[in-house]
Structure 1
Amino acid sequence: MSEDKKRIINHYKSVGRHGKQLVEEDVKAGSDTARFLERMEQRRLATPCYIAIDMRGKVEDSCRAYTFEGLTHHLDQKCINLFEQEAARYDGQYTVGVFEAVQGAEHTFRAQHEREQEKRIAEQKRQLAQAKSNAPKDPLFNKSTQNDSSDTVNESVQEAANEETDEHSIRLIPFGYRAQRKEGRLNYVTEVSIRFDNGTVLKGKTADISTAGIKVSLFGQTENIATETVLGVSFDALEAQYTLQLGFVDYTLIEQTQDHHGRTQFRLARTDQSEHEQFNIFIDEFIKSYQSRYKLELEDSLLALYAKAYERIFNAGSACSISLLGSLNNKLQSLYTATRPEEHSQLHNALIGSIAEHIPQLCEPSEDGKIANNYLLEAFLVKGKQQHRVYCSTRSALIKNKQFDEFLKVGSQCHLIARLQLHTRAISPDDRDAALQLLEPLNEEAPLRYQAIAEHWKKISHIAYYQVVEEKLSLDSPITGQSAQLTALSEYQLPPGAQRIWQLAYRNERKEPRYLYKTQASITAGKTQVNGETLDFSPAGMRIKLHNVSHIPMDLDINQTIKVDLPDMQKLAKKTAKLQNLPYRVTQWHPHDHSISVRRDYSVKSHDGESFFSRLIASNESKLKQCPEDLETTLVASMVEAMVSAYLSGIPLFIRRFPGGRYAIDSAAATENANALLWQFKTQDTFDFSALNLEEFFGQTLKGQLNRRSQLTSPINARLFATFPEQPGEELVIRDEVSMTDNREIAKFILMTRKSKRHRILRAQFLPPPFIKLEEFKEELSVIRSNSSNRARQFEQNIQQLVALVDIEDISAFYQS
């Protein structure tokens, strides 16, 4: 017996005097076990069956009602012949054997697909064998020098045969894509007639059906027809099945293609859904009744789900900072600034917030009023006891004033120095208005606040990315605001004031609502005492606005323990609670309105503030108004994320581990508003990122940097050197820094970037993948799972198996002056 026909089973068998034991047996033809199994199989197949067979949508020909032994089946003629032939083998009875024979008929779509798949795998095996035979021979052992172990060959064939996980293709994620179809398309095959404007009528069959449109394959050939041509469609088989007279329904031709059999296919949309009310009612009820039996076409929904999920991952994991700008009097002004919380985010936020506030002075337009695309900024921050000081200037201004070297020398000794490329892009009003629609839920909760944000949002005209080329932290720096070194650079000190920093990827996870309420508050932190008033409260914390301050005192640092007095509330509480010296911890700064958020100190078991506010809310909940700030923060974060997704500054890559210990690009993101770097990878109607798939470089960079879950633990920065083709057909070459011969070759390449735009220096920032709850996508995922559990599982695995994010950005401008 051949290897592929061996039958190895586990069963209980009498073994000598030991009685019956579970054994593993290689069943051979003619053996007692083989004959026993054959008798059992025949008995199973002869068992009466009571399941109605419905082959509609599973075979190419139309099906009709066929009654046998009081049970009505829906079969085509071939299935009826097979049914009667198999029933004769079982004395004219309908049995399990008849049921399985009809379901597995050779002319079904499933059987055709399986034969095509077997043929494809056989061809792939033949190609592998041919490649193996043509490989160079080892002269000593006369063997192929390729790895020809059977495990490797079988694994290669298996990977090639798996359409769902082709390791050689990079999935393209279109950021900003949302589901285009408002309704699912039912995979259902039924006969129709197509009437053309010249009176010709051709027969065809549907591939899918929805209320708004259908996809039809024609039995006959036809010439190319202009799109938007109106065609009449008659549902012949459905009319006969349900004894209806629907007549011809008008459809508009959207697209004409060919299927894999070479037959003409039409994609049609209803011309006017308000017409033909009888058909509307019928088709709606028909689709609803068949959704549990036939699958929905998932491509549109699945693509939208991947886009939404990977956008969320990118925004939650990337270290980007952005400003949304408006042009007022030919000057850029930052309207919204957002970044993602990270280690030492307080220093980063102070730096970015100060730069954003003073963009009009830093980024002046040219003499003709045009706004430049790139501004090269040098900046450093000095941490003070009262407030942080930020020094910033454009590189061109420092070079012009001959203070470039001195600025870097002093800055390198300060708490934070950064070299930034501020890259600006004009945005489309359509994209801006589309993002504004995400704010609509706030209109129900706080209409006035909604109106204020909407008017502010509509002023946006540009998006700016703060690309950090280099940065250095020296938290123990001895430099203070009184240093003589800083006095010489005082003209570059930015005036006090910083913009509000919105949080990218913010999602409200509070377990209890906050309520708007203003009452006097006094804060004590060490020797510092500040008066203010509460803006809102909850049992766990509150937000306090500080009075008579030009900046938030440094004694109120993040996570600092403070004491809060509520004198007016004490009068209300009387002796039921002591609202003095309440222990809280600072959780967040809001420099734009000189306020802080605080949360109760959980190291204290009994907290009078928590118990008092809990009782106050319980007895006055109907009178109190909920604070809409969390909803506002969440929605504005979503709006900003939508703009980031629509106008990428670089190329987001998503790295996954593949068989054989390979680290390669699983997915790459692109957008319709392609940036200059992304455009270099455009090929006809798609993007080709294969040149960026530097597996050896990925492996070397990630080695030793992964945790037990095989995910990157901390950010890593590296440089790539790209040479883009000058003429069509030339090769795109990308090299990592390790592959460069020495520093002289790197310096030579840098000189080339000043002479030719073909040579670009890219920054590859490796970032740990963030933890994303799949519950965020449960609604979209439930639709996918109900129609294809395999695709739903594949999506979950792709999300959970990400090793790292890589953000590729062009930083050539910093090396060109």
Structure 2
Amino acid sequence: MDFKAYQSQIRTLIPLRNKADFSTMLDKVFFGESTSDKFLIKMELSRLAKPCSRIIDLREKVTDETQQFTHQDIMHYLTPSADKELTAAIKLYGEYTIGAYEQVLEHVQKVKQEKSAKPVAKIAPEVDPNITENIQLDNHSKQSAARMFFVSKITVILEDGSEHQASTSNISITGLKVKLSEKSNYLDDQFIKVNFTALGNDYKDKAITGQKITYRLVKQQQEKTGFYLYLNLEDDKPAFVNFIKLFIRSNQHKYKLDVHYYFRLAREKLIRTSTLMGLSSLPIYLNATHSSALIFSLRNQANKEIIDDWRCDNSNQLPFLFSEKRLAAMLSMAKPTLATTVYCFTYISEGEEFFLSATEEELKKENLKHLFIEYGRTKPNWRCYHLTLQNYVYKAKKTYGLTDIKPSIFDDITHVATLTEIATNEIIEIDHRSDEKRDLNLLNIFVHREKQPAFVPVYDLFPDELRKEERYSFNSAIKLTAGKDICSGKIVDFSTSGLKIQLGAKESLARRSLIKIDFIDLQKLSKQFTLSNIEYRVISSGPNNTFHLQVATRDSYLTMHQFFSILIKNNPTHFQVIPLKANKQPVTSRLREAAESALHPAFFYVSTQNCKAKISLSSIADTSKALKQLFNINSKDSYENNHLALSNRRLLERILHTPLRTVSTLENPLNFECTIYVQKILVANNKWKINSYLDEDFKSKESKRKFILDNKELKQLQILHYRLTSIKAPDLAVVSSEVNIISCYAKHLSQRIEEEILKINAMIQVIDRTKQILGD
């Protein structure tokens, strides 16, 4: 039955539904209608009068400004007109009902239709093409879990013992946003106890009822709708975390999830992957307490040539860059970080190859910089590098699975270094002895004397081999239980944490589903271990009814890891390792997490839209203070970057558009480098005027030298090394879980991820070289 034709009559009867003569009034209002229609109308009135607990959130549904409004202890996000409509509806129904909820949505739809019928001409605000959003690639700790917008009464207990009644604004498994009734100044970073009074009363669960959960205050902020505290969970209470996790999961359709969290997370993961794929810097990990400091380095397609260039006489020379004496000198200059220049080359004498390397400081100390550079430049393998060195202790920033064990060598890391090859014309010193012939034997102090350094592993950030551990072929009977289904099969091969099995009958096991395995044959071999009901998770399926499984629980992992380890050890000739396609290395996800410590240059991402390249996104770490300051000039928001230093004086045409057009006709990959001299002049209203120049903009070396020295004196010069390279878009499977969640709530956001990321085809990497060129 279509009730639209009876809206006015239904609205007339709503206030009368609890009257004693309601049935008589209904008969009068609907005189002449059939009994069945009257019954349906009465049922519709009952439906509309049912209490409702749904939140009305118009923030992504309308273009008008929305605010928080509380009606009967439920927080809604409404426009002012929608708030008036909800107030009127509640007055009509006597409470917040399904009818009131639907009345507001109908009002919103009516307003939209009126606006579309009478379009209002708007003057679009002027968009600065130099402003890009900053994607924080080390954002793990900023917000590590999705929020659900949920209002519930709590008690907040401060460090001074004072108690305040408050309410949650949103919750997650790692934090809270709390609304207080009045503004006050609280001490940041203090520990706060939270008693979830309303939730505890509703659920009577010992994980939350009567519990005082410890949080840390990370931010306090006055907003339009009230005064808020942002809290991070500090308590180690797995039962509480599990309760909140289950509560969010079971109520995510009732209360709105912060889908923008998943959007930001997916975009950060994709940009981080692209950046690590195209990173031209070589991350190097050191143990400064050891005489052979170099532990390992991380390789990708963009930086692998650096490792090749540090080979001499079929020996890796990179460990000698961090010899005990040289590293001690570097660490003495690191306050707390060091950035310097490293020069190297090889030469052949009497059929023997020699490798020389020197840092900027070493050459100046020995007064041999000019001789080293002028002689080294004549060699075909002359190289110049930007070297950074800083403290580093690996700490996992995300939760790992049972089998993603931290490599033991990670515990030895004390420092991380990066080595970035640069093409430089930056030397400005004049050597007044340039006409003199100097003794080349003086350079012998920079020769690498050792020939055979200890083996230092090089790990691949994007390996072809995805296997975490050795696998062994083995045929053994098993019984598999999946829910209520039981079937038999056999092991094809195994590792200490995984299985490849083949089932006897055609079965369909869903990916990521939890199953239990009974090891029928293997149990006969062991009285020490119980090899039944071992929990595994389905990872993937293969041909001939085969499936790849991974151990799913800690108890199962400990049991199988110990059992298989003993089995292999006691039967070394019986179990043959399935050959690896590549050298075994630590878990790739942990290597990539460690590689994030090398992401301290400024990165700008170039996308192509309508056959025109533009800088669409950017990323500058907060620790890169000089770059952050430069690319925040004349920017109003700290979450934005202003690449005016790269675009003023039509610079982008020369350093971006022309290289991109040129490379499209060549087989070689894009790799464009230049030095940019940025002149910063403070003008009126604390605004900065920026002028950027390339080497070719100066009439002569002398004019460039004069420009550099004049601006150095005025402290208004910043010198950048600029590199433009092509990059590939990462596989969207990297963010499949996030995209699936986003698609359930905001399809347009999942489409926006694909549109933004898949159009990125080049990356700009900017290194600040000011101190290395100008000196102290």
Pair 1:783 & 2:735 matched: no
For residue 325 of structure 1, what is the aligned residue in structure 2? 286
For residue 460 of structure 1, what is the aligned residue in structure 2? 413
Q: How does 1:252-651 map to 2 (within 5 A)?
A: 254=217, 256-261=220-225, 263-267=226-230, 286-328=247-289, 333-342=293-302, 347-350=308-311, 353-360=316-323, 363=326, 365-366=328-329, 373-381=338-346, 389-394=354-359, 407-408=372-373, 411-425=376-390, 427-429=391-393, 432-434=394-396, 441=403, 443=405, 454=408, 456-470=409-423, 492-495=446-449, 496-497=451-452, 500=456, 502-503=458-459, 505-509=461-465, 623-625=575-577, 632-633=584-585, 635=587, 638-639=589-590, 641-651=592-602
Structure 1 residues 702 and 274: CA distance shift in structure 2, 3 A: closer
For residue 106 of structure 2, what is the aligned residue in structure 1? 104
Q: How does 1:694-705 map to 2 (within 5 A)?
A: 694-695=646-647, 696-705=650-659
Tell me how far apart the structure 1 counterparts of residues 305 and 234 of structure 2 sit (CA, whole Å): 58
Tell me how far apart the structure 1 counterparts of residues 645 and 73 of structure 2 sit (CA, whole Å): 50
Structure 1 residues 201 and 436: CA distance shift in structure 2, 3 A: closer
- Supply the AA of the counterpart residue of 1:749: F
Q: How does 1:589-738 map to 2 (within 5 A)?
A: 623-625=575-577, 632-633=584-585, 635=587, 638-639=589-590, 641-657=592-608, 661=612, 663-671=614-622, 673-674=623-624, 676-678=626-628, 686=638, 689-692=641-644, 694-695=646-647, 696-706=650-660, 713-723=669-679, 729=686, 731=688, 733-737=690-694
Structure 1 residues 749 and 656: CA distance shift in structure 2, 3 A: farther
How many pairs were matched up?
574
- CA drift of 1:731 comes to 2.0
For residue 751 of structure 1, what is the aligned residue in structure 2? 709
TM-score, normalised with respect to structure 2: 0.58
- CA drift of 1:680 comes to 5.3
Greater relative contact order (Cα < 8 A, sep 6+) = 2
Tell me how far apart the structure 2 counterparts of residues 491 and 193 of structure 1 sit (CA, whole Å): 70
- Supply the AA of the counterpart residue of 1:61: H
Contact 1:436 1:639 in 2 (8 A): no
Q: How does 1:61-140 map to 2 (within 5 A)?
A: 61-62=71-72, 78-79=88-89, 101-105=103-107, 128=123
- CA drift of 1:714 comes to 0.6
Tell me how far apart the structure 2 counterparts of residues 328 and 780 of structure 1 sit (CA, whole Å): 42
- CA drift of 1:172 comes to 1.9
Structure 1 residues 750 and 502: CA distance shift in structure 2, 3 A: farther
Tell me how far apart the structure 1 counterparts of residues 176 and 368 of structure 2 sit (CA, whole Å): 69
Tell me how far apart the structure 2 counterparts of residues 207 and 710 of structure 1 sit (CA, whole Å): 52
Aligned to 1:264, what secondary structure does the other structure show? strand
What do residues 220-242 of structure 1 show as CA deviations (whole Å, max 9, x unaligned)?
A: 54655666555655439x97999
The correspondence for 2:725, drawn from 767, 772, 776, is: 767
Contact 1:724 1:733 in 2 (8 A): yes
What do residues 394-443 of structure 1 show as CA deviations (whole Å, max 9, x unaligned)?
A: 45666777765665455444332112233322x143xx244899798465
- Supply the AA of the counterpart residue of 1:186: M
- Supply the AA of the counterpart residue of 1:380: F
What do residues 766-787 of structure 1 show as CA deviations (whole Å, max 9, x unaligned)?
A: 1112341121222333333334
Tell me how far apart the structure 1 counterparts of residues 358 and 626 of structure 2 sit (CA, whole Å): 25
- The answer for unaligned runs of 5 or more in structure 1 is 1-45, 65-74, 88-93, 129-155, 161-165, 444-449, 473-484, 518-537, 539-619
- Supply the AA of the counterpart residue of 1:794: R
Tell me how far apart the structure 1 counterparts of residues 690 and 292 of structure 2 sit (CA, whole Å): 37
Instruction: Decide which moves more: 692-701 or 224-233.
Output: 224-233
Instruction: Please give the root-mean-square deviation of Cα atoms over the aligned residues, in Å.
Output: 5.8
Pair 1:172 & 2:131 matched: no
For residue 54 of structure 2, what is the aligned residue in structure 1? 56
Aligned to 2:135, what secondary structure does the other structure show? strand
Structure 1 residues 487 and 291: CA distance shift in structure 2, 3 A: same
The correspondence for 1:187, drawn from 128, 133, 149, is: 149
Aligned to 1:235, what secondary structure does the other structure show? helix
Structure 1 residues 658 and 666: CA distance shift in structure 2, 3 A: farther
Structure 1 residues 359 and 758: CA distance shift in structure 2, 3 A: farther
Tell me how far apart the structure 1 counterparts of residues 242 and 441 of structure 2 sit (CA, whole Å): 80
Aligned to 1:56, what secondary structure does the other structure show? coil
- Supply the AA of the counterpart residue of 2:624: A
What do residues 43-84 of structure 1 show as CA deviations (whole Å, max 9, x unaligned)?
A: xxx9x98998956211742389xxxxxxxxxx9774466689
Contact 1:418 1:471 in 2 (8 A): no
Structure 1 residues 347 and 282: CA distance shift in structure 2, 3 A: closer
- CA drift of 1:808 comes to 0.8
- CA drift of 1:765 comes to 0.4
Instruction: Decide which moves more: 764-773 or 305-314.
Output: 305-314
Tell me how far apart the structure 1 counterparts of residues 595 and 330 of structure 2 sit (CA, whole Å): 29
What do residues 562-617 of structure 1 show as CA deviations (whole Å, max 9, x unaligned)?
A: xxxxxxxxxxxxxxxxxxxxxxxxxxxxxxxxxxxxxxxxxxxxxxxxxxxxxxxx
Tell me how far apart the structure 2 counterparts of residues 621 and 216 of structure 1 sit (CA, whole Å): 63
- Supply the AA of the counterpart residue of 1:341: Q
- Supply the AA of the counterpart residue of 2:134: L
Structure 1 residues 385 and 189: CA distance shift in structure 2, 3 A: farther
- Supply the AA of the counterpart residue of 1:337: S
Pair 1:235 & 2:198 matched: yes
- CA drift of 1:367 comes to 11
What do residues 518-557 of structure 1 show as CA deviations (whole Å, max 9, x unaligned)?
A: xxxxxxxxxxxxxxxxxxxx9xxxxxxxxxxxxxxxxxxx
Structure 1 residues 290 and 806: CA distance shift in structure 2, 3 A: same
Aligned to 1:336, what secondary structure does the other structure show? strand
- Supply the AA of the counterpart residue of 1:288: R
